[in-house]
Amino acid sequence: MALKERVERLTQTKAWYGELPVESLYTAGIAGERFFRTLKDNGEFSGTKCKCCGIVYVPGRIFCERCFAPLEEWLTVASYGTLESWTVVYVGLDGSRLAEPIIVGLIRLDGASTVLVHRLGEVTPDTLSIGMKFTAVLKPKTKREGAITDILYFKPV
Amino acid sequence: MGRRVAIVGVGMTKFVRRAQETGQELAYHAAKMALDSCGLHLGQVDGVVLGSAPDSFDGVHMKGEYLSPGAGAWGKPYMRCFVGGATGVFSVINGWYYVASGLFDTCLVVCEEKMSSFQPHAQAAFLTIFDHTTERPLKPNLLWIFALEMNRYMSTYGLRKEDIALVAVKNKNNALDHPCAQIADKVTVEEILKSEVLAWPVQRLDVSPVSDGATAVVLANETVARRVTDKPVWIEGVGWALDTAYWTNRDLCYPRYVEEAARMAYKMAGVTDPRHQIHVAEPYDPFDYKELHHMEGLLLCGKGEAPQLTVDGVTRRDGELPVCPSGGLLGVGNPISAAGLMKVAELFWQLRGEAGKRQIARKAKRGIAQAWGDLMQVGAVVVVGI
Ligand SMILES: [Zn+2]
């Protein structure tokens, strides 16, 4: 088999760059629409509770993935919760070093059964430990657009 | 041939141009409806099969994994199958062999497509299915294949566009009675012939639309089937076959791969004379001429004879061999995999006498559904009966 690594210029072998162009328009869905509107307008985290399983899904969903019950009971959970795990990320999507490492954590909001992934801020890695309490820092209301990035990061309580 | 497998429940969302629901939510609605229709709950489902066409439609890579919560896959054996446009019918075959083998007693089969996600139009998603060396530099789209096929079909048998357009008139009209239909419409041959030419001889109204939607069916072995319903619809035969991926080298005027798939299914079902032993057919009709093509491939008539059957009214709902009584992809809509599975759902309703206003006039004990896909060279066929 020919080894392309030995070819120093693309003109020496027949090769070219191409792409798989994909551009998408997404909807948040029936449940997502409500979750993001509540976050944008009220700065609150809303979820749905399955009466059969007792699970509280945040963001809310219209169905329970475990028992398939339709979920109609919406509730608001706390905007603070528990750190379930964390990491410090030093490389970006293309493998290059980030100018500033970022801290990423998993937060289980008080009252929720499910866990959110987001950035952590106002904290240094040497002070982090699983089980710590974190609270959401949101964009000011006028800047919020109904997106997960309306949450800037979570900071220690 | 393994254990007997029946379809015992069916669910289907409306097919729409642009759904607000996420793909997961669409899948859930169809899956939940299918389970409710036969009184089963998710805990009684042994395994789940998901059918969905290219990831790029929904804009989610590894769409099977993404859709799994809506398909009811949590904590269960779960398989995604994918043969392009043939996925909807193939997904039933996929589910069939899990139950026929004895591995599962029940299997939930869910098909979802959200084509509206792709921007600016789902058609562009197809550019990258072509050979990157010999074809992509020419910027092909799927219409090229259809137009070249249709021209070849028309030229070979001396067909007129007027005759082919009758299929679109019939199917869009049939869809008026389908509660999930997207573009049911009374159209005339004249309107079709006057519609915009996309790639000669294919015109706008010869084509099905892009759609969002989901369909689901519940499969069960004989013991479960007899317990949950008085009217199980048995899967009597399944078949699938592939022609060359060099689509330019195929017989453009006859879908041999459909014939091979059909022969496999007929053999299993003990069908020796399809023209008389098949009472209702749902061949894949993304384009009007494809219904005709596929009727011939399914051996429901001789080569080149399908247009005359249409002209004679044989394929109408009150005809001797109703074809696409649902309204088909041309009328109900074409969320790829969900549309294929919709065809199986239609047979379920027709054979049980539950198709409402769409109920065909003749008595029907056996039907056939077929879908077509990949680079337009795969055929998937299911024969069902009561
Ligand atoms: Zn539940």
Contact B31 A68 (CB under 8 A): yes
Spell out which residues of chain B touch residue A21, defining contact as CB-CB under 8 Å.
124, 127-128
* Amino acid (1-letter code) at residue B89: V
CATH of B5-118+209-385, one of 3.90.1150.10, 3.40.50.300, 3.90.1010.10, 3.40.47.10: 3.40.47.10
The residues that bridge with B323 in the sheet, in sequence order, are: B281
Domain boundaries, chain B: 5-118+209-385
pLDDT digits 0-9 by tens, A119-131: 999 999 999 999 9
What percent of chain B is modeled with pLDDT above 70? 99
The answer to whether B21 contacts chain A (CB < 8 Å) is yes
**Does position B125 have pLDDT exceeding 90, yes or no?**
no
State whether residue B32 sits within 8 Å of chain A by CB: yes
Query: Given an 8 Å threshold on Cβ–Cβ distance, is B69 in contact with A65?
Result: yes
Q: Where are the domains of chain A?
A: 27-156
Predicted local confidence at residue B215, as pLDDT? 98
Q: Using CB atoms within 10 A of its CB, is residue B280 exposed (0-12), middle (13-18) or buried (19+)?
A: buried
For the segment B11-36, the average pLDDT, to the nearest whole number, is 97
pLDDT band with cut points at 50, 70 and 90 for residue B1? low
Nearest neighbour of B22 by CB, restricted to A25, A29, A68: A29
Mean pLDDT of all residues in B247-270 = 95
Round to whole Å and give the CA distance between B225 and B232: 6
Percent of chain A exceeding pLDDT 90 equals 83
Residue in chain A lying closest to B114 (CA): A26
Whole-number percent of chain B with pLDDT over 90: 86
pLDDT tens for A88-115 read 999 999 999 999 999 999 999 999 999 9
Looking at residue A6, its pLDDT comes to 64
Token pair of B80 as six digits? 């995604």
A62 closest CB neighbour out of B25, B72, B116: B25
The confidence band for A4, taking pLDDT boundaries of 50, 70 and 90, is: low
CA distance B255 to B241: 11
Tokens of A109: 């909001």
Residues of A in contact with B116 (CB under 8 A): 25
What is residue A49's three-state secondary structure? strand
pLDDT surpasses 60 at B133:
yes
Tokens of B236: 């009597």
Which of the pair, B145 or B128, is modelled with greater confidence? B145
Cβ contacts (< 8 Å) between A23 and chain B: which residues? 118-120
Average pLDDT over residues B91-110: 98
Q: Tokens standing for B193?
A: 């012939």
pLDDT tens per residue across span A17-45: 888 888 999 999 999 999 999 999 999 99
Residue A32 sits at the vertex; the CA angle it makes with A122 and A23, to the nearest 5 degrees, is 90
Question: How big is the CA angle at B198 (ends B193 and B203), to the nearest 5 degrees?
Answer: 20
Higher pLDDT, B126 or B214: B214
> Is A29 close to B42, i.e. CB distance below 8 A?
no
Tell if the CB–CB gap between A68 and B35 is shorter than 8 Å. Answer: yes
pLDDT of A11? 67
pTM of the predicted protein model: 0.95
DSSP, residue by residue, B3-14? S-EEEEEEEEPP
pLDDT at A1 over 60: no
Cβ–Cβ below 8 Å for B59 and A62: no
Mean pLDDT confidence for B39-47: 98
Check if B78 contacts A (Cβ < 8 Å): no
Show residues of chain B in contact with A71, CB under 8 Å.
none
User: Following DSSP, what letter does each residue of B173-208 receive, concatenated?
Assistant: HHGGG-TT-SS-----HHHHHHSPEEETTEEGGGBP
Comparing CB atoms, the residue among A20, A28, A68 nearest residue B32 is: A68
* B264-311 residue pLDDT tens: 999 999 999 999 999 999 999 999 999 999 999 999 999 999 999 999
Sort out which chain B residues have CB atoms less than 8 A from A61's CB and list them. Answer: 69
Q: What is the predicted ipTM? A: 0.89
Report the mean per-residue pLDDT for chain B. Answer: 95
Residue B124 above 90 pLDDT?
no
Q: Is the pLDDT of residue A15 over 90?
A: no
| C-alpha B232 to ligand 1 mean position (Å) | 29
pLDDT at B254: 95
Greater pLDDT, A145 or B53 = A145
Mean pLDDT of A136-147: 97
Closest approach of A147 to chain B, Cα-based (Å): 16
By CA distance, what is A28's nearest residue in B? B22
pLDDT-derived band at B99 (thresholds 50, 70, 90) equals very high
Cβ–Cβ gap B28/A62 under 8 Å: yes
At B328 the pLDDT is 97
Please give the average per-residue pLDDT across A135-144, as a whole number: 98
The residue type of B91 is S
Q: Which segment of A58-62, B66-70, B147-151, B372-376 scores lowest on mean pLDDT?
A: B372-376
Helix, strand, coil content of chain B in percent (nearest 5): 45, 20, 35
What confidence tier does A8 reach under pLDDT thresholds 50, 70, 90?
A: low
CA–CA gap between residue A115 and residue A100 (Å, rounded): 25
Quick check: A145 pLDDT over 80?
Answer: yes
Taking the CA of residue A15 and the nearest CA in chain B, the distance in Å comes to 10
| Contact list, B70 vs chain A (CB under 8 Å) | 63, 65
Q: Given pLDDT bands bounded at 50, 70 and 90, which one contains residue A7?
A: low
C-beta neighbour count of A151 within 10 angstroms: 20
- For the cut 90, the answer to whether the pLDDT of residue B183 exceeds it is no
CB of B61 within 8 Å of a chain A CB? The answer is no
**Upstream peptide bond of B120 is cis (omega within 30 degrees of 0):** yes
* pLDDT tops 80 at residue B163: yes
Q: Give A3's pLDDT tier (boundaries 50, 70, 90).
A: low
